[in-house]
Chains A and B, each alone.
Chain A
Amino acid sequence: MESKVLKPILAVYVGLFILFLYGPFIVLGILSFQQGPEGGPQFPIIEWSTYWYKHLFGLTPPSRIAPLPVGEALVRSLTLAFMTMVTATVLGVMAAQAFRKRFRGAGIVFYLIVLGMMVPGVLTGLGTSLLANNVVGVERHWWSTAFLAHVVYTFPFAFLVMLAILNRFDGSVEEASWSLGVSPMTTFRKVTFPLIFPGVLSAMLFAFTLSFDEFPRTLFASGRDQTLPLAIYGTFSVEIHPNIFAFGVMTTLFSFALLAVYGILMGLSVRRAKKMAMQEDIA
């Protein structure tokens, strides 16, 4: 009986909760259409305009507000995220594959890998830069030390995703392949991999987005050249303008585009299966 009262109350509460999650972003989105270049990063909206979007792409006449240094940073971030994605996914698939067989020390190895996502970025970042700077004596770069730290962070995610996928994987198709005289290596390439590909795609998505957005590790472990999150962080200390809001909207759209690509790739493999089933119905 109490739940009859409780349920609607909680439903309203969840509505407010979601507003709490989205509120700031809605405000940010509105303010990105502030008039420019005089309009500031606050209400009221002087006049609706797309000035700050144009400003972002360098399409406005020069003003006292410098354009965000995002062009090169974006390329770096994409490259870094791609490198990280490939490496983390390969390591994750390999480790998860090993975990299909029981072996001694499995518990320790599991925790060693998972530790990578549990240790705060500020610590891995500090440690990595200490190691590079004071022991090995190499210069830090986004493509070297930061890349190493990014893989430490994303490899556990890829590993866990693949572990979940492989847990549900029926190994008898692999055994069938071996019994046909096909080596384990070829079996993996021709049977296992095509069948776990949707999982690999998820692992890749995880690794890419986490690396693309990674900030604390990059702050310590990369050198002079900034990645995108570092470029955004750089604007924190100075006066902010609505261009950063416009930029926020753009990156969100980019993330959704990425998500859409993932969705399409996933959908294609599912649809292919469905299509075949449909042909059968017609036949």
Chain B
Amino acid sequence: MTATSRNRQKKTTFRLLAPGVVWMILFLIAPIMMIVYVSFWTQTTFAINSTLTLDSWKNFFASEAYVGALWTTIRLWLIVLTLTFVIGYPAALYVGLMVKSKTISTVLLVLCVIPFWTSFLIRVLAWRPMLGKEGAINIILQKLGLIQTPIEVLLFSELSVIIGMTQIYVVFMVGPIAFMLGRIDHNIIEAARDLGAGFGRIFWKIIFPLSLPGVVVGAIFVSVMVLGEFATSGALSGRKVNLLGNIIVTQVGSLKWAMASVVGVILTILLGIVVAGFLRIVDLKREI
């Protein structure tokens, strides 16, 4: 009998949500569906038509360059993910757990975030004078007498891409981990210490498990961004490193929409597997 007021509320909710939902369906879901659809279109030299075919898919798997890009993407992703975790975790441990003062920990986190107010591309570009043959690192190492001739492999190599990506994305790993560590009740650690547990034991039995949801969230952030990358590899590898993203860019540049779409679908599947895999490790809904 009170359906009227229920309906009224439903209507309000609907009106508030409709614009956003429609926007996302039209300009997010439809475009992604479109990628899947176009990946089966027929590509001629300069045009594309909607006759369905598997040609582009066959071409992808027949090409050493394309399949190579897939492996490069996976390899780079694994390396950068590992590095952001290994480099980021100790920093998060200090910021989130070791620092007792709330102010200092906030200041440190803000310090980590400030670089994000510089253009992403400028931050990538900033590695060039750093890593180059006459770059800052080579100069410093030479001055210190550690090397005689400049290390050339620093720039325009896979290494420079890895260094660049790690620096840009490591903060996305630090943030969530520090957040989870900050929520740990210090009494638990004190209690464990009173029971005679050493730091190693406390870390592996208490601290690390409690920070795991943060690691997973950080890993998802880093994975999504690294897998979709093309600018860093473009700018720092001198076209030596081709990721799936780079293939998409060059294919679109030469109007090969069907092939770009195939790569897009493969990238989507890869992302789906990775994210679903991480969500398996930790039930985020329960943890947060």
Contact = CB atoms under 8 A, between A and B. Distances in A.
A and B touch in the complex (CB under 8 A): yes
Interface of A: 1-3, 6-7, 10-11, 13-14, 17-18, 20-25, 27-28, 31, 41-44, 91-92, 94-95, 97-98, 101, 103, 109, 112-113, 115-116, 118-124, 126-131, 133-135, 148-149, 151-152, 155, 159, 184, 209, 213, 215-216, 219-220, 228-229, 232-233, 236, 240, 244-245, 247-248, 251-252, 255-256, 258-259
A120 B121 contact: no
Interface stretch (B25-33, B61-69, B208-216): B25-33
Most buried by A among B34, B224, B225: B34
Nearest to A117: B224
Given A17-B91, A118-B224, A127-B264, A3 B98 contact: yes
A155 B34 contact: no
A259 B249 CA distance: 33
Given A43-B135, A119-B32, A128 B27 contact: yes
3 closest Cβ pairs, A-B complex: A120-B228, A127-B31, A2-B199
A27 B231 contact: no
B184 interface: no
Interface residues of B, number: 80
A255 B117 contact: yes
Given A213-B120, A252-B118, A94 B125 contact: no
A44 B130 CA distance: 12
Given A10-B90, A120-B225, A236-B234, A113 B24 contact: yes
Nearest to B136: A27
Contact of A95 (B12, B17, B30): B17
Contacts of B12: 98, 101, 184
Contacts of B220: 118
B38 interface: yes
B21 interface: yes
Nearest to B133: A42
A159 B34 CA distance: 26
A221 B30 CA distance: 15
5 contacts: A43-B136, A112-B29, A123-B35, A130-B35, A232-B125
Interface of B: 9-10, 12-13, 16-17, 19-21, 23-25, 27-35, 38, 48, 87, 90-91, 93-95, 98, 108, 111-112, 115, 117-123, 125-130, 132, 134-136, 139, 167, 170-171, 198-200, 220, 224-225, 227-231, 234-235, 245, 248-249, 252, 257, 260-261, 264, 267-268, 271, 275
Contact of A42 (B29, B134, B224, B228): B134
B122 to A, nearest CB: 4
A216 B231 contact: yes
Given A14-B108, A248-B118, A28 B126 contact: yes
Contacts of B171: 21
A129 B129 contact: no
Nearest to A32: B129
Most buried by A among B31, B34, B139: B31
Contacts of B34: 127, 130-131, 134-135
A28 B48 contact: no
B18 to A, nearest CB: 9
Contact of B134 (A7, A43, A134): A43
Nearest to B16: A98
A48 to B, nearest CB: 16
B32 A123 contact: yes
Contacts of A121: 228
B94 A14 contact: yes
Contacts of B248: 122, 126
Contacts of A209: 117
Contacts of B245: 120, 122, 216
Contacts of A91: 19-20, 23
B17 A109 contact: yes
A94 B94 contact: no
Contacts of A130: 31, 34-35, 38, 257, 261
Nearest to A220: B252
Contact of A25 (B35, B123, B268): B123
Contacts of B126: 24-25, 27-28, 245, 248
